[in-house]
Structure 1
Amino acid sequence: MNLSICHRLRDFFISTSIIISVVFSTAVFAENSAKLAPDFSLPGVDNSQINLADYRGKVVLVDFWASWCTPCIRSFPWMDEMVEKYGEQGFEIIAINMDQEAILAKKFLTRYPNKLTIAFDPQGVVAEQYEIMGLPNSFILNKQGEIVYKHVGFRLSELDKYEAEILSLLP
């Protein structure tokens, strides 16, 4: 194999591994390089309105999910536990449903009851602003409303890490 082909193959594998590591990385922001989370106002359960600006001063996990997403099903009990554990310390979760048909989300919520703040984004407008790369996709915001951590997927093996990230932002 000639040297130029070897170099091109090496460059291809380096580029591919960089792309894969970005797509599948979990914590992508350090607190000192955080950027302000896109603001949103979405319909919630029982005709309520969920405004991200109302959560300023709290640590917020914004989670994008859908009824058909198996990892989303696994994430709900953990998220519910985190709100129960840290809610009094100023931690909130806004779980944004991506189903285009509201009935699918309602069936899911009946089957998996929780204490989360649920919002609906059936057109994916907010998801597009957050540039989500899969479901579930979550963002942990500090009290200033900046995205500090981003997670694509939900891995049971990383629950301690997720919780430590939350705790690092609480008093």
Structure 2
Amino acid sequence: MFMKAILLLMVFSGCAYAQQVQVKDVEFATILAVEEAEKYYNSLMAEEPEDSDNTAKYSEYRGQLAVDWLLKGNVEKYQFYKKMQPKFTALQLFELSNHLEDWVDNNTEVRRVEQISSELLGELEKGMYYDQFSRVGVLLEINAVANARLGNVQLAKERIEASNEKVIFRNFPYFRNSLANYLNRYAVILAADGQPQRALDTLSKAMRDANSTAVLRGTLREVYQQVNGSKKGLEEYIATLEEEAYRTTYENVQKEWKANGQAVPNIPLTDYDGKEIRLSTYKGKIVVIDFWSTVCKPCVAAFPAFERIVKEYSKDPFELFVINVGETADIVRPYMKKKGYTLNVLFDNHEKIFNAIGAIGTPEKFIIGTDGNIQLRGVGYAGSDDAEYYKLKAMVEVAKAHTKDL
């Protein structure tokens, strides 16, 4: 239980090196609504006034309140807690940058994004925060796009160039859409600089390579019209790029098919309520299982694509389970609810299934055919929303192609 408490704090507070776990820290971390978290913080301050012994804890709480209020769109509340100079944890900084990414990529609150990202960059330069997840490069990208949208094109070009010197994870499929987001932002700046053809070429290649997202497709639509003067042929062009990316993925997956795979073990898993679920009872359906944990960034990066797949195959004999390893329902349930994911979660806390089928880590997905045998596996995160979607769709379609009754 001690290790699980440590994991909880790593997930919700970013305090990976905490020396002691307090019950109230856990209680604060599991509160979903920021309004309720703020009430809890205020009551705790009244009960235990801040002093030299607990100031670090309260600083972390204020940092989380600042982050959560910004996620809710309340900039004034963010600024209120930010003025108290909380020392953002690595995870809080990660969440902040993610939200600023969402705003700037969707051309929302651009001026505020420019201001907040500039402030955070200045504080990081002073060494005020531990940048465990290499947010400097991402914040430079964010700031560059904000400036491009505000008409400060030269500064935007300087910032996007500077981001290349600070990036660590961009070309490694670890965080969600790292490379796809960069390519989209670079194209936005090219278009703002009067180079729409270069922007279109950049985005087209990104889509062919499956380094793409819904946002990137939106940018491509805009620059396509700039280059061609109309929407004529646009949707056909996008469909061709998507088909090329998917076909390449499908051909690669097809080579990995195993006709005589390992039978799925008759080992029970549990759902949120502790009810036993056995994968061996799902014969007649194609079943996807994916091993994950809340502290695994590439694991949860794949979830939006999983949600898309579940919706697409909702009328088919198909199931998808994300199997949590090493955590409990009291950690996972609020996490999934806060993130808005609706995937079917199962638990393998003793790693019996994980070990029995020879899994090597997280994330790792397996396709179980209608005969109950494991016939495909995929290790790691594919790198973008589209790449992950194409990969899993191809795995399902290859399984269907080898199943006579589907």
TM-score by length of 1: 0.75
Residue 35 (structure 1) shift: 2.1
Name the structure 2 match of 1:18.
Answer: none
CA change 1:51–1:101 in 2 (3 A) is: closer
| Structure 1 unaligned spans of 5+ | 1-24
Name the structure 2 match of 1:165.
Answer: 395
- The structure 2 residue matched to 1:49, chosen from 276, 287, 294, is 276
Name the structure 2 match of 1:65.
Answer: 292
Q: Compare the two structures and name the one with the higher helix fraction.
A: 2
Greater relative contact order structure (CA < 8 Å, 6+ sep): 1
Secondary structure at the aligned position of 1:42 is classed as strand
Secondary structure at the aligned position of 1:149 is classed as strand
CA change 1:106–1:159 in 2 (3 A) is: same
CA change 1:107–1:28 in 2 (3 A) is: farther
Give distance in 2, aligned partners of 1:130 and 1:32: 16
Residue 142 (structure 1) shift: 0.8
- The structure 1 residue matched to 2:327, chosen from 100, 104, 119, is 100
Give distance in 2, aligned partners of 1:48 and 1:87: 23
Which range moves more in the overlay, 94-103 or 140-149?
94-103
Q: After the TM superposition, which residues 18-167 of structure 1 pair with which residues of structure 2 at under 5 Å, given as runs?
A: 29-155=256-382, 156=384, 157-167=387-397
Give distance in 2, aligned partners of 1:48 and 1:110: 20
Residue pair 1:44, 1:120 contacting (<8 A) in 2 also = yes
Give distance in 2, aligned partners of 1:28 and 1:71: 24
Aligned residues: CA RMSD: 2.2
Give distance in 2, aligned partners of 1:79 and 1:158: 8
Give distance in 2, aligned partners of 1:91 and 1:129: 23
CA change 1:27–1:121 in 2 (3 A) is: farther
CA-to-aligned-CA distance 1:109-168 (integer Å, 9 cap, x gap): 222333432111112122111221111111001101111111111213353232112022
Q: Compare the two structures and name the one with the higher strand fraction.
A: 1
TM-score by length of 2: 0.34
Higher gyration radius (CA): 2
Secondary structure at the aligned position of 1:71 is classed as helix
How many residues end up aligned between the 2 structures? 147
Residue pair 1:44, 1:119 contacting (<8 A) in 2 also = yes
Residue pair 2:253, 2:391 contacting (<8 A) in 1 also = no
